[in-house]
A and B are shown apart, each in its own frame.
Chain A
Amino acid sequence: MATPAPTDTLDLAARFPGAVTPDTRPGYTGWVVTPEKLLEFAQFVRDELGYDYLVNLCAVDYLPEDRMEVVYNVFKTTGGPGLTFKTWAPRKDPIEIPSVVSIWPGADFQEREAWDLYGVRFTGHPDLRRILMWEGFEGHPMRKDWQEPFYDEDVKPFKRRWPDGKHVYAEKRSVYGDNVYFKPGFDPEKWTPTDPEEALYKSLKKYKTETSDGIETDHIIVNMGPQHPSTHGVFRAVVVLDGETVVSLKPVMGYLHRNHEKIGERNTWLQNMPYTDRLDYFNSMTNNWGYALAVEKLMGIPVAERAEYIRVIMAELSRIQNHLILIGMLLNDLGAYFTPALYAFEERELILDVFEAVSGSRMMCNYFRFGGVVRDIDEDSMKKIRDLVFDRLPRKIEEFDHLLTENEIIVSRLKGVAPLSAEEAIAYSMAGPMLRASGVPYDIRRADPYGIYDRFDFDVAVRYNGDMYDRYLIRLDEMHQSIRILQQAVKGIPEGPISSQKPSYTTKVPPGESYGRVEGPKGELGFYIVSTGKPNPWRYHVRTPSFVNLTALEKMCVGTKIADFVAILGAVDIVLGELDR
């Protein structure tokens, strides 16, 4: 389903003469803004046109044209299609673009990522440090002329492997015999280590107070992670404490940075599908959908009717198991060690059985294809799904509700903790349940519908207090709504082909750009892709909810107790594969 070209009637070029021009490259939409006018333009777009929600910001390296482009995708929280605008600078260091953090605070981490991976210096950014790689790493690895130590060829399939099939171990091809590279003449003995942590600790707020009786109190810095049982993976947070109260907090990420985007730009279009499974490894079905949607949009192909239903069924089952695990794990973080999580895993196994039956793998489903899905659902699996959605899951969700919602410990630990107002949630580009718990009824399935969601009868779950308790409740609400969608989809699924395309290893994608977004269980999952008409994507960027939602982590945590930090992080629902990519 293609989003209609935005703002046809609006002539931004006339409003900003000389500074804003329509993007006329074939396959591209939106506007090109000069860096000098970027802030003024952004302010206008936000305040006067009402695009208050910055969803995606990423850099694109157009090496042949010698320019570095930064792309912004903005939307209205009242719904409807979005606006894309770009700005670019010549590819000559330093590449400087004004930072839009002052207009959309949610741009913070995304700009840091673009600085880290592309070396775009955002002037006016309050804390421009590397975010995924470490401070001191040489080079900006996503640039097209930067080659990794195991570099083989620019794009797959690599000739040495296919069709000749003469494989040489990557270690034997690499200069240093390993996945490392040092400049000629580098001497590790004479090299003076720059402390990669120094910039991080400098960015923390320091304080020192003196009480009336002359006793000086100092801050305490606590490092949580990267190995910590309640950070849900290899996430790390550096916290400054005043007694037990959090004064300042900086998330540190990149411990699972697996270079999805670099690998993705070497892969062929179809080869990226299994890689998307490993982004948010709880919800491989939803990840598949986001990517398939972006590519289908660019290719302009329809999706087979039966496949549309199958997609909805899989995505909603995925949402239910994600929220069940979230609640189980949140209770873990609150101290109910593993009992609720065991209940959650019991139901999740049943859903994974369905995934395994249809796709062949429990977690890494690799199930979607451009134009449809890869295999049909057989009658046994349909029966399993029917049993689940009409009988078992509704009962179990009720059971969770009954056991947990009124529990005194849960209420006292969650109610009123770490509230986030609707305005703040929008400003920080929060997405998904985190946004809706703050009273913004923004759900992409309704606001910018994709697939066949416009045919189903369901409500957008919304809660208004924005505190931890609402973040817990909204997950229960969403599971109820998912059940509703599933019941309609299971009843309405038609017979027919499962793909509009013939199965093929190569995909012809016309030149252009496309941004595909789906409402993942954790929030908006977006794929920004650029095609040059070749068998491989030129740019493959993933806008992940875990990453952007963490922008507001410091805001939520300051002033709370350190024990609450663990729960707040749990309720944001991060998954590291998606956070670090």
Chain B
Amino acid sequence: MKEEDLRDLNLPGYEIPPELTGQLAITTLDRIYNFGRRASLWPMMFGLACCAIEMICAQAGRYDMARFGMEVMRPSPRQSDVMIVAGTVTKKMVPAIIRLYNQMPEPKYVVAMGACASGGGPFKEGYNVVAGIDKFLPVDVYIPGCPPTPQALIHGMILLQQKIDKQSIKHVRWYDGKKEDSVAVPVPYLGPDLIDPRRIPEIKAKAAELAAQQQQLAPEQA
């Protein structure tokens, strides 16, 4: 290994005898754990809309995301680390997206690429549009733009790497049996409109309230 690579890893700053430089590094467990993970992010090959094209451009020759260790696009969620939500999330598509997310093994991250995935974007008012994937999934990085340029995507992914650098093996949710984040996200389903299972009591109460209001109004009109 080259001396520079090890210098990057050598965090606590102990003196290393000159004859051992390039062969030895003294580091923390967190550091070595994250060092491995950050440089081998496998995004899911999963495009929704326009942003997906810029995602492909970022993978192609000119921008070449491979330089940062994030080029191995996996078509299967079982092999992926990052879900780049690249495009508008629609009501018809969101059950499939949640199912894919639930199928990804921990540790997993979500990047909301572009205005639509972050908050609905130009199509927010549409009747079939979910105003941002963060209504359902925990998002790690939001990338603005419509669509974000490949540079912006790479910048977002580097921010994700920086986030990974700060994580500690002691606190991450996938090794901490107590944290609820590891539980699968309930999959919404399609009824008369999109039904989020987590909001069923709320929907029921509100619909009952509306019905009561309507009943009150009806005699008045008559």
Contacts and interface: CB of A to CB of B under 8 A. Distances in A.
B48 A234 contact: yes
Nearest to B214: A184
B210 interface: yes
Contacts of A262: 126-127
Contacts of A282: 53
Interface in A246-284: 254-259, 262-263, 266, 274-275, 278, 281-282
A184 B207 contact: yes
Interface stretch (B23-31, B173-181, B191-199): B191-199
A364 B144 CA distance: 15
A512 interface: no
Given A258-B128, A275-B122, A137 B53 contact: no
B61 A259 contact: no
A257 B206 contact: no
B125 A148 contact: yes
A213 interface: no
A170 to B, nearest CB: 7
Nearest to A134: B190
Contacts of A178: 131, 135, 196, 199
A255 B207 contact: no
A168 B193 CA distance: 23
Task: Tell me what chain A mostly uses at the interface: helix, strand, loop, or mixed.
Answer: loop
A423 interface: no
A511 B74 CA distance: 52
B96 interface: yes
A255 B208 CA distance: 31
A568 B147 CA distance: 29
A152 B135 CA distance: 21
A73 B43 CA distance: 45
Contacts of B47: 233-234
Contacts of A346: 60-62
Nearest to A271: B122
B46 interface: yes
Contact of B92 (A171, A229, A257): A257
Interface stretch (A82-90, A118-126, A187-195, A533-541): A187-195
A545 B127 CA distance: 24
B194 A180 contact: yes
A544 B48 CA distance: 19
B108 interface: no
B193 A259 contact: no
Interface in A558-580: 576-577
A226 interface: yes
A227 B100 contact: yes
A409 interface: no
B54 A363 contact: yes
Contacts of A105: none
Contacts of B127: 141, 148-149, 179, 259, 262
A136 interface: yes
Given A196-B190, A233-B48, A349 B57 contact: yes
Contacts of B125: 148, 150-152, 170, 259, 263, 266
Interface string A45-65: 000000000000000000000
A26 to B, nearest CB: 32
B45 interface: yes
A346 B91 CA distance: 35
A141 B208 CA distance: 24
Interface in A151-180: 151-152, 170-171, 175-180
B193 A187 contact: no
Contacts of B204: 186-189
B175 to A, nearest CB: 29
Contacts of B149: 362
A187 B57 CA distance: 46
B76 to A, nearest CB: 9
Given A233-B47, A233-B49, A364-B147, A256 B88 contact: yes
B221 to A, nearest CB: 15
Interface string A131-147: 01110111001000000
Contacts of A170: 124-125, 131
B122 A227 contact: no
Contacts of A185: 207-208, 210-211
B49 A193 contact: no
B128 A138 contact: no
Given A255-B93, A281-B53, A345 B128 contact: no
Given A186-B203, A188-B195, A256-B88, 13 more contacts: A134-B92, A150-B131, A182-B206, A188-B204, A189-B204, A196-B190, A233-B52, A234-B96, A258-B49, A262-B127, A263-B126, A342-B60, A364-B50
5 contacts: A179-B120, A180-B193, A187-B208, A258-B128, A341-B56
What are the nearest 10 A-B pairs in CB distance? A259-B126, A184-B210, A185-B211, A345-B60, A281-B50, A184-B211, A148-B127, A138-B192, A229-B75, A186-B207
Interface of A: 132-134, 136-138, 141, 148-152, 170-171, 175-189, 191, 193, 196, 226-229, 233-234, 254-259, 262-263, 266, 274-275, 278, 281-282, 341-342, 345-346, 348-349, 362-364, 576-577
